[in-house]
Amino acid sequence: MAPLKLGMVGGGKGAFIGGVHRMAARLDGRFDLVAGAFSSDSARAHASAAELGIEADRSYADFNEMAKAEAARPDGIDAVSIVTPNHLHGPIAEAFLTHDISVICDKPMTATLAQAERLKAAAEASSGHFFLTHNYTGYPMIRQARQMVAEGALGELRIVEANYLQDWLSDAPAEDNKQAKWRADPAQSGGGAIGDIGTHAYNLACFVTGMRAASLSATLSSHVSGRLVDDDARITLQFDAGARGHIWASQVAIGNENNLTLAVYGSKGSLRWAQENPNVLWFSETGKASQMITRGGGAANHAAASATRIPAGHPEGYLEAFATLYREAADVIKSSSTTDTTIGIQDGLDGVRFVDACQRSSRDGASVIDIK
């Protein structure tokens, strides 16, 4: 089948995540990047487009102009990838959904709950699809864990522990650090560590277990002088199915790079996974030796195999996980059928509700917030 035509908003020169999305989109040959509004600065936008081989008449300086022009073209884009700071996700997604163009949006869905609720309404009124790129859900061993939980390998779920630890914001960043600058601005990010990586930890816990939080208590802290957003978050969760949980998300935990871990404990067994060694999943059952399940090994299940591209023993990780989400989005766009592994508009709204509840709880002295 011919690749889908992809546009991109954001991700121009100097941006990190735009390049990641472009690599992921083309890895399986499902998308061709043909248009973009790569920066809010016109000169930078057109220079970025030229560098990426985009034709001049499909390089835009404004996302509203891009949405309108691409919708009017007979060869217009099928989907747009949004890789801007968080506060722009909602308006950009709405502009394209209004023209029935599918949206693939970086997380979190929006910077505020009001934006998320408005975007959900726009998505429900559009014939376009909405996808959110919580990329860690694309790892084969996470798919393995999800299937094992669903099949009852752990029994009744009791405890969920998800931690995401980094150290790159342990000090005030350099003035020219573009990635840190917008994340430290509450108007652009909507939150610090809780929105940037805490949403990943929460989404991963929900994706693997099939549960959602019913209530939570949170303490958000900022350890760097003058910082206006949190850089460390501790959350206690009560899940709707009765299990308890804890999330620790920190960007000031010195000695950690991208230390995302997940542990799920049930009445019969447990699963443990670490993003920095993603091709391994540990499974333990009561009274038995722990089992190391590898991505390409004999114990890998159908869910893991469907997200695997290369033979056992070869590293497969971050970019491939992102590509799995793009491949699944392409399949949904082409067939208009849904899949239970794509992260959609409701998941995005749940994530923003989680961030909002954590912020309200922390402001109120770690009070318990009902988020059912």
Q: Which two tokens stand for residue 23?
A: 């690599």
Per-residue pLDDT, averaged over 218-241, amounts to 97
Residue 337, pLDDT above cutoff 90: no
Q: What is the mean pLDDT of the chain?
A: 97
Length of the chain: 372
CB atoms within 10 A of CB 95: 23
pLDDT digits (tens, 9 = 90+) for 267-302: 999 999 999 999 999 999 999 999 999 998 888 999
What angle, rounded to 10 degrees, do the helices at 113-124 and 345-363 form?
160
Q: Which two tokens stand for residue 266?
A: 């049930």
pLDDT digits (tens, 9 = 90+) for 75-127: 999 999 999 999 999 999 999 999 999 999 999 999 999 999 999 999 999 99
Domain 4-128 adopts which CATH fold? Rossmann fold (3.40.50)
d(CA 310, CA 84): 31
CB 206 within 8 A of CB 350: yes
Look at residue 23 in the predicted model and tell me its pLDDT.
98
Burial class of residue 231 in the structure, from the number of CB atoms within 10 Å of its CB (0-12 exposed, 13-18 middle, 19+ buried): buried
Nearest CA to 81 out of 70, 72, 73 is that of 70
Predicted confidence band of residue 37 (pLDDT cuts 50, 70, 90): very high
The pTM for the full model equals: 0.97
Predicted confidence band of residue 168 (pLDDT cuts 50, 70, 90): very high
Residue 372, pLDDT above cutoff 80: no
Domain locations in the chain?
A: 4-128, 139-313+345-363
Look at residue 1 in the predicted model and tell me its pLDDT.
73
CB 46 within 8 A of CB 158: no
Per-residue pLDDT, averaged over 174-185, amounts to 92
Per-residue pLDDT, averaged over 32-36, amounts to 98
Look at residue 336 in the predicted model and tell me its pLDDT.
76
Residue 371, pLDDT above cutoff 90: yes
d(CA 346, CA 131): 10
Look at residue 14 in the predicted model and tell me its pLDDT.
84
pLDDT digits (tens, 9 = 90+) for 45-78: 999 999 999 999 999 999 999 999 999 999 999 9
Residue 167, CA atoms < 13 Å, CB-side half-sphere: 6
Q: Where are the alpha helices (DSSP H) in the chain?
A: 17-27, 42-51, 63-72, 89-98, 113-124, 140-150, 178-183, 186-189, 193, 199-209, 302-306, 318-335, 345-363
State the architecture of 139-313+345-363 in CATH terms: 2-Layer Sandwich (3.30)
DSSP-assigned letters across all residues of 114-162? HHHHHHHHHHHT-SS-EEEE-GGGGSHHHHHHHHHHHTTTT-SEEEEEE
d(CA 269, CA 261): 17
Predicted confidence band of residue 216 (pLDDT cuts 50, 70, 90): very high
